[in-house]
Structure 1
Amino acid sequence: MRPFCHAFFLALALLASCSMASSSAGSQDWSSAIVIRVDQSGKGDFTKIQDAIDAVPSRNTDPIFIRIKPGIYREKIVVPADKPFITLSGTKAKSTIITWNEGWNTVESPTVSVLASDFVGRYLTIQNTFGSSGQAIALRVAGDRVAFYGCRFFSFQDTLLDDTGRHYYRNCYIEGATDFICGNGQALFEKCHLHSVSKNGGAITAQRRDSPSENTGYSFVGCKVTGVGVGTTVLGRPWGAYSRVVFALTYMTDSVAAQGWNDWGDPNKQRTAFYGQYRCYGPGSDLSRRVGWSRQLSVREASHFITKSWINGRDWLRSPPTHFRKFSALTVRSSNGSG
């Protein structure tokens, strides 16, 4: 069957299932999901990830679980804003790789762009192989209530554009050199590994909070910071005047420069940026030589940033589904070329 027909019948099946779902996402049964299989060998429902996403109906209200077989997927992926409740899941991040090669020329340039709310990514590697000659985003996250588990993100400059919305990252590996976690999202990173490949003058974060009224910023809790050399990276520099970043209970190697933070050549930002540490450890965590405008947080100050309450996560983070619904018989026959 031609791909257009396949996608059409699959969309009809999904739409029919979605019509039976609750009109309110808050009352949805998240233990069950419709499963779509992506397999480059042709044994699944689609061979490309984007084709599976395209088959999901607009204004979807049902959990959709797109199960991706191991392989290297050379695709540029967009999850549109009108298609919430999608999960993209591999089995192991090292064997399920989404890759592209493009500099940051437009908002369409990232390897993967998540514009939808209530998205989950699991066990994926997302990379941009553009190299060190300029900005190149591997992942852009611009939806609200988005979570990633056990994923790996690779590029050089601006690897992860944590753009807008509330986001959660757990057990993820993030690699880059210059501002490789950037944007104006409100994000909690738990037990993540941040690795700088900068040989000199690198920065891990460039958070873009522009006003004290914005409830945005990055919090790293129980993470690990490594690099390729001694004193080769700072923890952050202010893309926005009110940039806000906190590291708590995090191990830092000597790759972290003694000063810890950089004002990006604008001393005025020293008065407005909020950069702090709480009970970090390791040779790169020493506070004695940090810039004077960074903070050693008290228990009370840190408590705002170090739990899921920071992103209201207890209201929207959910366990993966345990039951899966297959397509209608018509869709299964169609995908096998009959009907």
Structure 2
Amino acid sequence: MMKLYIQLLVTISLILQASGALSLATDFSIANLKRVDQSGKGDYTTIQEAIDSVPSGNSELVFIWVKPGVYEEKVVVPADKPFISISGNQGNTTVITWSEHGDIFETATLSVLAPFFVARFLTIQNTFGSGGKAVALRVSGDKAAFYACRILSYQDTLLDDSGSHYYSNCYIEGATDFICGHASSLFEKCHIHSLSEGNGSITAQHRDVESDETGYTFLGCKVTGTGPTLLGRAWGAYSRVVYAYSYMTSAVLPAGWSDWGDQNKQSTVFYGEYKNYGPGADRSKRVEWSKKLSGGEISPFLSKEMIGGRYWIRASPKFFRIGSKIVKAGNGGTPNFMT
């Protein structure tokens, strides 16, 4: 009930914003800046401390800027704290790391449970390795976006659990079902890299009811690997995954897709491909129940409209509030200073 209540408040806030009824304090071009620096020169020394400082029921943009470094901590963004952004300067210099395996809902290095979350220029990794489920990133909050992030583990790397999500220019690495869950997500210009040694799958999408508007679309992506991998296997009976305009190396197995040992799923899943290229895009030996999509069939999957993105994907803030001061953002929408 609390989660539904918070989502209702957020929806009302957006409606008010669109009508111009919100004050400058909730102007989405301005974010309250919180600085994380392990050396003690920022506002906080850990990312979780910065998140904990955000009030429940938050209705303002909060921008948590993390100075380069390796942050060994397990981070949770609670469901009642929407509108948080976490950003580094470069994806390979600001690292959030943890090592844990077990239940996929409990092992994540970073768990996003709140709506309207944004991450930029971060490495999010679970270093447990092979031999167990070890999630790097769990996204269970609605309307979350990730830009130029590196998401690394081995099994179940990205638990793309529920809600609508957008991933842009991200690098996602794993071996077994390493993009999995029930969400509706668009992966645009991402690099998907498999560590599979022959029996792994990139996706395990869990749509299990035909009426659910969920699924994964990979648009203009690059698919590579160190060994053979499937594009996806059917976790749910109505699993839905589409690849379009994407480059695929020979790491992609000729069959492409798996029904996960249940032939009944062959008539209900939706596995589509459209104008992909590279040696792994050859469909001559694909399973016959996957689809070579037509122009009309692919159309709904080729824009952010498939995730309702026009209504919630927001630009970077133009200004930051630090105490009583308001300062202009630097290039790329991030702060250009750290004191």
State TM-score, norm by structure 1.
0.89
CA–CA separation in structure 2 for the residues paired with 1:99 and 1:274: 35
Residue 5 of structure 1 corresponds to none
**Higher Rg of the two aligned structures:** 1
CA–CA separation in structure 2 for the residues paired with 1:106 and 1:283: 33
Q: Does 1:25 align with 2:21?
A: no
CA–CA separation in structure 2 for the residues paired with 1:22 and 1:263: 38
Paired residues for 1:106-121 under 5 Å: 107-121=105-119
Residue 134 of structure 1 corresponds to 132
CA–CA separation in structure 2 for the residues paired with 1:227 and 1:212: 32
CA–CA separation in structure 2 for the residues paired with 1:23 and 1:36: 26
RMSD: 1.4
What amino acid is the match of 2:250?
A: D
CA–CA separation in structure 1 for the residues paired with 2:104 and 2:219: 32
User: Match for 1:234 among 213, 226, 230?
Assistant: 230
CA–CA separation in structure 1 for the residues paired with 2:161 and 2:104: 14
Secondary structure at the counterpart of residue 280 of structure 1:
coil
1:267–1:250 CA distance, 2 compared to 1 (3 A) = same
Shift of 1:25: 2.9
User: Match for 2:265 among 269, 272, 279?
Assistant: 269
Deviations 1:17-75 (A, max 9, x none): xxxx9972341522111000000010000000000000000000000000000000000
Contact map agreement 1:162 1:184 (CA 8 A) in 2 = yes
Gapped runs of 5+ residues in structure 1?
Answer: 1-20, 330-339
CA–CA separation in structure 1 for the residues paired with 2:147 and 2:183: 17
User: Match for 1:303 among 294, 299, 306?
Assistant: 299
Contact map agreement 2:98 2:109 (CA 8 A) in 1 = yes
1:80–1:203 CA distance, 2 compared to 1 (3 A) = same
What amino acid is the match of 2:286?
A: R
Shift of 1:252: 0.2
Residue 334 of structure 1 corresponds to none
What amino acid is the match of 2:277?
A: Y
Contact map agreement 1:23 1:61 (CA 8 A) in 2 = no
What amino acid is the match of 1:25?
A: L
Residue 3 of structure 2 corresponds to none
Paired residues for 1:200-279 under 5 Å: 200-229=198-227, 232-279=228-275
Paired residues for 1:1-339 under 5 Å: 24-26=13-15, 27=17, 28-105=26-103, 107-229=105-227, 232-327=228-323
CA–CA separation in structure 2 for the residues paired with 1:23 and 1:155: 37
CA–CA separation in structure 2 for the residues paired with 1:177 and 1:106: 15
The alignment covers a number of residue pairs equal to 307
Gapped runs of 5+ residues in structure 2?
Answer: 1-9, 18-25, 326-339
Secondary structure at the counterpart of residue 273 of structure 2:
strand
Shift of 1:306: 1.3
CA–CA separation in structure 1 for the residues paired with 2:134 and 2:302: 30
Asked which structure has the greater RCO (Cα within 8 Å, sep 6+), the reply is 1
Contact map agreement 1:120 1:148 (CA 8 A) in 2 = yes
Contact map agreement 1:97 1:125 (CA 8 A) in 2 = yes
Contact map agreement 2:104 2:135 (CA 8 A) in 1 = no
CA–CA separation in structure 2 for the residues paired with 1:105 and 1:288: 38
What amino acid is the match of 1:305?
A: F
Secondary structure at the counterpart of residue 121 of structure 1:
strand
1:324–1:108 CA distance, 2 compared to 1 (3 A) = same
CA–CA separation in structure 2 for the residues paired with 1:328 and 1:50: 24
Contact map agreement 2:124 2:151 (CA 8 A) in 1 = yes
State TM-score, norm by structure 2.
0.89
What amino acid is the match of 2:98?
A: W
Secondary structure at the counterpart of residue 284 of structure 1:
helix
Over the matched positions of the two proteins, sequence identity in percent amounts to: 61
CA–CA separation in structure 1 for the residues paired with 2:104 and 2:139: 15
